[in-house]
């Protein structure tokens, strides 16, 4: 449990303009003790909360929070109920606040290699690394300064973990795969499993099958690796397959949620973000600053240019060469057109009944 802090300490660390309601003593407000961060509706007198969307203004008025982080446009509304911490981007301020808050209480990893870990000859491990119990480090692997390897992790031969990257428990980084600096990889992630590559063999001879049964699948060995750049976060149980010939590539700052499948030879551009259960088939190329909502599917060998935004459950069946927001199961379209078509689709049953009634009136 984090120790309480005073509002003045938060402002000193992160900035912002702390304001008191009319008649209140600002010095006293600065000394207000904050014991937790909380949403508006469950905050109490020792909580710091935030408002990033004006549509929740009714919750602001009713909140019992000691102080609320708001934009300049919401300053007066916030002061009508109590103290306010005013900044240009409340949501971004809140994100940085959570990092600062967490850093105060996060336990420092124990430096060194646990006695139960297995380190193969030729592995290079910096002195400032933490390797937890039952981890495995393969021959020729490199673990750079400040990295943290959780319990039961598997680091394959010739793999590399960059500076200050943290792997949670049970992460697999396959042979010759690499992740850059300051990455965060959550439990159950598999980086560098074989891509899904098989060639159909329709010949009967030598397979012991009867004619007409269909093809047998012959495995294509996956000879590439996975290269992940800096500042990438990968959610629990996400799988990133190694390339068939060239490498699968994840650029700087990419954020992947839980349970995402990234196929072989996919390239995800810098600072793109994808929500849970997204599936990306092999050799798709996704630009920079793209987003994909939960459950979206991107078929293989397609290209998405920079700044493409795909809403949840959308299936992308053709390349997108124009930035924008796209929606729909089948067929998808630009978001504005899709919404119009969806509204029309909801009326089809009533329109059918009206058409039938008109047809019956015809002589």
Residues 312 and 169 both lie in one domain: yes
Query: Residue 173's closest CA among 255, 269, 245, 238?
Result: 238
- Give residue 17's domain range: 5-103
Active site residues: 264
240 burial via Cβ count (<10 Å: 0-12, 13-18, 19+)? buried
Does the pLDDT value for residue 360 go beyond 60?
yes
Q: What is the pLDDT of residue 340?
A: 87
Here the CATH number for the domain that contains residue 262 is 2.160.10.10
Higher pLDDT, 46 or 107: 46
SS3 106: coil
Element (H, E) at 49: strand 47-50
Specify whether the CB–CB gap between 81 and 57 falls below 8 A: no
Q: What is the pLDDT of residue 210?
A: 54
48-97 per-position pLDDT tens digit: 999 998 888 889 999 999 999 999 999 999 999 999 999 999 999 999 99
Place of tokens 């491990």: 125
Specify whether the CB–CB gap between 244 and 197 falls below 8 A: yes
In a domain, 358, yes or no: no
User: Which residues have CB under 8 Å from 57's CB, separation 6+?
Assistant: 51, 74, 77
SS3 308: strand
Residues 88 and 127 both lie in one domain: no
Indicate the residue among 103, 124, 141 that finishes a domain: 103
314-353 per-position pLDDT tens digit: 999 999 999 999 998 767 788 898 888 888 888 888 888 8
């Amino acid at each position: 449990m984090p120790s309480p802090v005073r509002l003045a300490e938060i402002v000193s660390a992160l900035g912002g303009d702390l304001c008191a309601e009319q008649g209140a003593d600002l010095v006293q407000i600065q000394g207000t003790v904050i014991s937790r961060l909380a949403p508006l509706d469950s905050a109490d007198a020792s909580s710091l909360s935030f408002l990033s969307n004006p549509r929740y203004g009714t919750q602001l008025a009713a909140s019992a929070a000691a102080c609320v982080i708001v934009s300049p446009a919401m300053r007066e509304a916030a002061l009508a109920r109590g103290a306010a911490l005013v900044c240009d981007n409340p949501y971004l301020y809140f994100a940085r606040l959570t990092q600062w808050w967490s850093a105060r209480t996060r336990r420092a990893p124990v430096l060194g290699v646990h006695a139960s870990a297995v380190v193969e000859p030729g592995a290079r491990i910096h002195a400032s690394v933490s390797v937890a119990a039952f981890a495995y480090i393969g021959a020729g692997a490199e673990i750079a300064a400040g990295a943290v390897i959780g319990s039961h992790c598997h680091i394959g031969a010739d793999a590399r973990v960059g500076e200050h990257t943290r792997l949670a428990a049970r992460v697999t980084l396959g042979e010759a795969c690499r992740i850059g600096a300051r990455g965060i990889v959550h439990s159950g992630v598999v980086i560098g499993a074989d891509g899904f590559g098989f060639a159909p063999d329709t010949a009967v001879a030598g397979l012991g099958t009867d004619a007409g049964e269909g093809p047998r699948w012959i495995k294509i060995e996956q000879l590439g690796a996975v290269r992940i750049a800096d500042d990438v976060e990968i959610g629990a149980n996400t799988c990133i397959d190694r390339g068939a010939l060239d490498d699968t590539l994840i650029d700087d700052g990419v954020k992947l949620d839980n349970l995402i499948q990234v196929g072989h030879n996919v390239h995800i551009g810098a600072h793109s973000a994808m929500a849970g259960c997204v599936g990306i088939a092999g050799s798709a190329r996704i630009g920079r600053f793209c987003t994909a909502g939960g459950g979206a599917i991107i078929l293989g060998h397609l290209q998405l240019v920079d700044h493409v935004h795909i809403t949840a459950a959308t299936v992308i069946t053709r390349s997108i060469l124009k930035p924008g927001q796209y929606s729909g199961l089948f067929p998808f379209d630009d978001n504005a057109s899709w919404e119009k078509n969806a509204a029309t689709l909801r009326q089809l049953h009533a329109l059918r009944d009206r058409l039938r009634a008109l047809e019956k009136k015809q002589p």
